[in-house]
Copies of this chain bind each other. A is one copy, B any other.
Amino acid sequence: MPKSQKKISSFAIGIDLGGQSIKGALVDTKGKIIKDIVVPTEGSKGPKHVIRVMRNLVKDLSDIAITKNGKVVGACVATPGLVDMKEWIVRIAPNLPGWVDVPLLKEMQKGFDFPLYLENDANAAAYGEFWIGAGKNVKTMIVLTLGTGIGGGLILDGKVWHGADGSGGEVGHINLYPNGIPCGCGNPGCLEAHTSAIGITKRTKMAIEAGEQSLIKKMVKGDLDKISPKVVYQAATKGDKLAKKILEDTGRDIGVGIMSLVNLLNPEMVALGGGVMEAGDYILKPAKDEFRKRGFKWLIARTKIVKAKLGNEAGRVGAAGIVFSMNTQ
């Protein structure tokens, strides 16, 4: 080809639909973000409005692709809540007002000549981590994203595991303590209830209310509702015993969960991400120690327990990665 005629690049569009903002990205085949656009969700205006915003975002990003001498091979929306993967309907998204049985794929596809896809946001983020993050050299991995709740998912033999009804991969809702802290899902003692930001906050508050001494009380000026994992982590770095114990217990509980997941699924890697993991080794070390103490001997050395790498980009990048995976199947 003549030097002046550049090769056409393949791009995918990843959209991460959140309660506050919609993050869009034009992504190349290596996972590099070529262009990102973030817009407010304005969820209170209802599903139709949100879908219009997302369609405009896809349009804008595909127009940009043309200016970059690229071709959009598809777009994928990473959506919160329960996605029906047979009918391609968002059954319910608790953080988006009015989102009940929304035929999102059908609505999104209108007017675009490249294929659109849907994925649960936690699964998309897990796929991103697998595609170009911590798991880029493995085929089977488990991602635990420890935020307000626990997101993440299962990548089995290079594919997101959806289960029979699209709700597979709820890694935060394996049971940890049969009579433990009530979880948002209604069950007492899920991994999420004990080790997510909410779990850490709740356990810290309970300990201080029970009279345990801690810097934290002073740090939040006596307002225990201001406790967050960040405050607990800061207190731990200052040597606060209670804070260190809370984070260590969190890590140990995560280690028990990892043991169950590894014994059951035998992945090559478990990657831990999300805001809670900003506490780093205060959590990661006891998690690894507990897994090593409890796991099958022959799996301990073979299973990598690592920090996730992609942070907040995981959702939209993972969504774009899913588009590319559809094109190579």
Interface residues of A (CB under 8 A from B): 82, 91, 138-140, 154, 156, 161-171, 173-178, 185-188, 253, 256-257, 259-261, 263-268, 293-299, 302
Can you tell how many copies of this chain the complex includes?
Answer: 2
Contact A267 B164 (CB under 8 A): yes
Contact A266 B176 (CB under 8 A): no
Overall SS of chain A's interface: loop
- A–B Cβ pairs within 8 angstroms, 27 of them: A140-B164, A156-B161, A163-B266, A164-B266, A164-B268, A165-B266, A167-B296, A167-B298, A168-B265, A168-B266, A169-B264, A170-B264, A170-B296, A171-B264, A173-B263, A173-B264, A173-B296, A174-B263, A174-B264, A175-B260, A175-B294, A176-B178, A177-B178, A178-B253, A185-B263, A185-B296, A187-B293
A199 to chain B, nearest CB (A): 15
Complex-state Cα separation, A295 to B188, whole angstroms: 11
In the complex, chain B residues whose CB is within 8 Å of the CB of A253: 178
Given known contacts A163-B267, A175-B257, A260-B260, what 19 new A-B pairs fall within 8 Å (CB)?
A140-B163, A162-B266, A163-B265, A164-B267, A164-B268, A165-B298, A167-B298, A167-B299, A168-B266, A169-B266, A170-B263, A174-B263, A174-B264, A175-B256, A175-B259, A177-B177, A187-B294, A187-B295, A188-B294
Contact B174 A260 (CB under 8 A): yes
A24 to chain B, nearest CB (A): 29
Q: Enumerate the 4 nearest inter-chain pairs by beta-carbon distance, A residue then B residue, closest first.
A: A163-B266, A168-B266, A174-B260, A173-B263
Contact A294 B186 (CB under 8 A): yes
Complex-state Cα separation, A188 to B293, whole angstroms: 10
In the complex, chain B residues whose CB is within 8 Å of the CB of A162: 266
A132 to chain B, nearest CB (A): 20
Complex-state Cα separation, A161 to B157, whole angstroms: 10
Contact A259 B156 (CB under 8 A): no
Complex-state Cα separation, A187 to B262, whole angstroms: 13
In the complex, chain B residues whose CB is within 8 Å of the CB of A167: 266, 296, 298-299
In the complex, chain B residues whose CB is within 8 Å of the CB of A263: 170, 173-174, 185
Complex-state Cα separation, A253 to B170, whole angstroms: 20
Complex-state Cα separation, A168 to B265, whole angstroms: 5
- Cβ-defined partner of A299 (8 Å) among B165, B256, B297, B299: B165
Complex-state Cα separation, A296 to B140, whole angstroms: 25
Closest chain B residue to A142, Cβ basis: B264
Complex-state Cα separation, A167 to B170, whole angstroms: 21
A31 to chain B, nearest CB (A): 23
> Considering residues A140, A163, A176, which has the most beta carbons from chain B within 10 angstroms of its beta carbon?
A163
In the complex, chain B residues whose CB is within 8 Å of the CB of A185: 263, 296
A179 to chain B, nearest CB (A): 9
